[in-house]
Amino acid sequence: MTLPRLKRSTLGDDVYDSLRAAVLEHTLAPGDRVNIDALARDLEVSPTPVREALARLESEGLVRKRPLAGYTVSPLLTRAEFNDMFDMRLLLECAAARWAAERATPEQRGTLVTEAARTVEGGDEHAWHAAFTALDAHVHDLVAQASASPLLRESITRLHAHLHLHRRYFPYAQTAVTNDEHQLLAAAISDHDPDRAESAMREHLIHARARHLVAFDE
Amino acid sequence: MTLPRLKRSTLGDDVYDSLRAAVLEHTLAPGDRVNIDALARDLEVSPTPVREALARLESEGLVRKRPLAGYTVSPLLTRAEFNDMFDMRLLLECAAARWAAERATPEQRGTLVTEAARTVEGGDEHAWHAAFTALDAHVHDLVAQASASPLLRESITRLHAHLHLHRRYFPYAQTAVTNDEHQLLAAAISDHDPDRAESAMREHLIHARARHLVAFDE
DNA sequence: CCTTCGTAGATCCTATAGGATCTTTCCTGT
DNA sequence: ACAGGAAAGATCCTATAGGATCTACGAAGG
């Protein structure tokens, strides 16, 4: 008998979740100064758990700390850093796709195919874009999870946080193409075909990088 | 004129360094409970910076937190987790070796060859072993640095922290072989030969895993 | 007009105190 | 002898207060 491992949480963790969401949603925009006391007042907690949350966020690179001068939200990636991130994605996620094709459970293959086939319904443009981004992240996480490597999945998740910071500047079009690529990837993994899974992921990421890079042209 | 960017530090950072070193040196052994108040008294600081340091360490996986029950030093890796870590090392460090061979500066190639050729001098067995481990980590970091990918280097550094936790249980012998492998790797990178660099790293890591895995046989 | 210096304000960093929770130990009952 | 429960101790979590530092604005001098 396995119980769902009841979740006890602390204020620090709650603040962390809230702050992380705020940064990812651009409620706190890149470059903004983060005032500890003001945040504590807004969230109606003391500064201590806020400091704890910020320390964790800094370790993940979402905020920067300047000693005796306060925290700021990490600035957006430069073109070079963005390319570096995609080099890492290619390295990590191609391996994840390969391992997923080799080691995923039948349930995982099924879920992956189902989720990759999902499409996002109407709503206003902003909400629709947010939903689509969330779905994209979810598909990639399913692959990472199916790779059966906890360390690999964690690394990928960490990268995606930085990717998410840029989503506002991604082009709204071409989402249908993304969806097609996801389905090819899911099919390859479902078919136990590592080579095809890896190359599908590679194609998908290379195309995604090209799609996103236009945002860096002024 | 570029000044060395004077380093201001906070108590929290100092505590972090001290604590991280204590964990890596097994002054705080895996599984040990970490008493916040006691630590604050020993280090002669208040609990707040200690909490901040622990939050960062938890984010790196060096300590674990159980809400309302305190922190503990992360336990040693299981055999499966250890294998997973080496799978990640193979993925990350082989790519690092390849990129280093392609992109390293002349200075980096020179330093790498020099450091890979270094040997550790006498001293008592414990100190000697510690020095050798440090040298090994240094060589691998030089490769990561030469890869010219900040994200890749950071990921590798993160992995090596966990590897370091196990060093006490590594075999003392066969260090000469390790040194030879490092020199082969350095030579390949120095020669601008990506294929040979990657395979040299792969061989090295596969052999290293085999050497270390004996520690898991009881 | 530009640069430099000094002061005021705001912010961060650290320390201490009180309430809530968990762990351990001891005792009682079966 | 063992299982179950209760109370004491220790520990963690949160809140508040005070000292040190940085930033920004304004004034004086070149």
Extents of the domains making up chain A = 11-73, 79-216
Confidence band (pLDDT; 50, 70, 90) for A5?
very low
DSSP letter for A45, please.
S
Question: Nucleic chain C: which protein residues 28-57 of A have CB below 7 A from it?
Answer: 33-38, 47-48, 51
Determine the residue type at A163: L
Confidence band (pLDDT; 50, 70, 90) for A10?
confident
What pLDDT score was predicted for residue A3? 41
pLDDT exceeds cutoff 70 at B4: no
pLDDT exceeds cutoff 70 at A7: no
Q: Which residue has the higher pLDDT, A4 or A192?
A: A192
CATH match of A11-73 with 1.10.10.10: yes
What pLDDT score was predicted for residue A83? 96
Inter-chain contact B84–A150, Cβ cutoff 8 Å?
A: yes
* A88-124 tens-digit pLDDT: 999 999 999 999 999 999 999 999 999 999 988 777 8
pLDDT exceeds cutoff 80 at A2: no
- Do residues B197 and B100 lie in contact, with contact meaning Cβ atoms separated by under 8 Å? yes
Determine the residue type at A176: A
The closest of A184, A196, A110, A183 to A146, measured between CA atoms, is A110
What pLDDT score was predicted for residue A173? 63
What pLDDT score was predicted for residue A68? 77
What is the residue-averaged pLDDT of chain A?
Answer: 89
What pLDDT score was predicted for residue B172? 67
The closest of A44, A59, A24, A38 to A162, measured between CA atoms, is A24
**Closest nucleotide relative to residue B47's CA, C1' based:** C15
What pLDDT score was predicted for residue B124? 83
For the A79-216 domain, the top CATH level (class) is mainly alpha
Q: Cβ contacts of residue A215 below 8 Å, gap of 6+?
A: A166, A169, A170, A171
Distance A68 CA to D30 C1' (A): 34
Inter-chain contact A150–B85, Cβ cutoff 8 Å?
A: no
Confidence band (pLDDT; 50, 70, 90) for A157?
very high
- Do residues B91 and A153 lie in contact, with contact meaning Cβ atoms separated by under 8 Å? no
What pLDDT score was predicted for residue B10? 77
Q: Which residues pair with A63 in a beta bridge?
A: A73
What is the residue-averaged pLDDT of chain B?
Answer: 89
* B98-134 tens-digit pLDDT: 999 999 999 999 999 999 999 887 778 888 888 888 9
What pLDDT score was predicted for residue B197? 98
The closest of A183, A86, A19 to B149, measured between CA atoms, is A86
Mutate to test the interface with B, among A36, A88, A198 (most CBs of B within 10 A): A88
Q: Considering chain B, what percentage of its residues have pLDDT values greater than 90?
A: 60
Q: Could you give the ipTM of this predicted complex?
A: 0.90
> Span A197-212, mean pLDDT?
95
Inter-chain contact B88–A149, Cβ cutoff 8 Å?
A: yes
* A118-138 tens-digit pLDDT: 988 777 888 888 888 899 999
The dihedral region occupied by A148, where left means phi > 0, alpha psi between -120 and 50, and beta the remainder, is left
Nucleic strand C under 7 Å from the C-beta of A10: no
Q: Which residues pair with A33 in a beta bridge?
A: A72
**Domains B11-73 and B79-216 are alike in CATH topology:** no
- Any CB–CB contact under 8 A between B8 and chain A? yes
Inter-chain contact B51–A56, Cβ cutoff 8 Å?
A: no
The rounded distance, in Å, linking the Cα atoms of A127 and A130 is: 5
Torsion of CA B75, B81, B84, B86, to 10 degrees: 50
DSSP letter for A174, please.
-
At a 7 A CB cut-off, the residues bordering strand D are A 10-12, 44-49, 66, 68-69; B 8, 33-38, 47-48, 51, 65, 67-71
- Do residues B118 and B164 lie in contact, with contact meaning Cβ atoms separated by under 8 Å? no
Which of B40-54, B87-101, B200-214 has maximum average pLDDT? B87-101
Mutate to test the interface with A, among B85, B155, B157 (most CBs of A within 10 A): B155
Q: Cβ contacts of residue B132 below 8 Å, gap of 6+?
A: B120, B175
DSSP E strands in B48-168: the ranges are 63-66, 70-73
